[in-house]
Amino acid sequence: MLGSHGSPRTSDIKASVAEKPRVAVLIGDPSSEVLSALRNDVWTLVPCEDGQALLETVVERLPSAIVAEFTPTAGSLAILNLIRRAAPRVPLILVAGGGNLDLQRALQDMRPYYYDVAPLDPTELREAVQSAVSPPRARAGER
């Protein structure tokens, strides 16, 4: 539809441009392999340098997915639990710097969409995020 001066209306342009999914990423190191693996034109990354910043990002504007690269500690598990409570339906993708059976049990309670222990497979991580940000119908059709 054209406006009064023969140009497209702003509302039509906005409607035709779909917003890219936002992926909030907990990253302590900007040169992280996780961050490098996720950079692309398909989604918008929102890097967060610590758990508090990630929690604030999740609360301020709910992302399409949350990716957390972390070292398992009582503090990191506590912040991940807060993030999970703040966004119970947002896919949570976890990459742990190590782990044991107790950690795996604690993480299972958070119902992660995807969980891996470093070192990670960048392709597998990208596929997990792509699946997580895809509309539910697309995900159901893949199964």
User: What pLDDT sits at residue 18?
Assistant: 57
Percent of the chain with pLDDT over 70: 77
CATH architecture of 19-132: 3-Layer(aba) Sandwich (3.40)
Give the C-alpha separation, 110 to 135, whole Å: 21
Radius of gyration (Cα) for the chain, nearest Å? 18
Question: Angle at Cα 23 formed by Cα 49 and Cα 121, nearest 5°?
Answer: 85
Mean pLDDT of the chain: 78
pTM over 0.85: no
Q: Which long-range contacts (CB under 8 A, 24 or more apart) does 56-60 make?
A: 57/24, 58/24, 58/83, 58/86, 58/87, 58/90, 59/86
User: What pLDDT sits at residue 135?
Assistant: 75
Highest mean pLDDT range out of 29-33, 69-73, 86-90, 117-121? 86-90
pLDDT digits (tens, 9 = 90+) for 31-71: 678 888 888 888 888 888 888 999 999 999 899 999 988 87
Domain ranges for the chain, please list them: 19-132
